[in-house]
Amino acid sequence: MLYPFGDIDGPRARSLHSEAMELFRVRGRLTGPSGQTEEVELLVDTGATLLVLPRPLAERLEVAPRRSQPVVMAGGQRDAWPVGEVRLQLENQEVTTPCFIAPGGPALLGAVALESLFLAVDPVAKRLVPVEGMVG
């Protein structure tokens, strides 16, 4: 994970990241592979690599784990979480994106999903803003 704090790494960088970015929520629609759909509130967290679904939500959407991936959580704890795929509709755009299936906690909107939708975070206004794609 890259942090905009020079060569600071590890827990201190994660702490600075959290201090620099107040979190906010957005509404989105998730669709599982079998067509199950649910409107959800997502906590915007650019420190999360992928979209994160708590297990009960993933089960309702019938998201099937495709593999397992090691993760490092904000407090530095390590684990391995299942990874699946879900369709995400947000800000009048839609994309299929990988997602972590977490044991619990809130649904998180991570960096890969944001970038796939060509959206960035305006931390001052606490909103998502469209961005242009980059090539090269």
117 is written with which tokens?
């939708």
Q: Which stretches does DSSP call E strand in the chain?
A: 24-31, 37-44, 51-54, 67-72, 78-90, 93-102, 108-109, 119-122, 127-130
- Percentage above 70 pLDDT, the chain: 84
pLDDT (mean) for 90-108: 96
Q: Are strands 93-102 and 24-31 parallel, antiparallel or unpaired?
A: unpaired
Indicate the range of 6-20, 55-69, 108-122 predicted with least confidence: 6-20
pLDDT (0 to 100) of residue 104: 95
On the question of pLDDT at 58 being above 90, the answer is: yes
Residue 7: pLDDT band with limits 50, 70, 90: very low
Half-sphere exposure of 93 (CA within 13 A, CB side): 15
Give the CATH class of 27-118: mainly beta
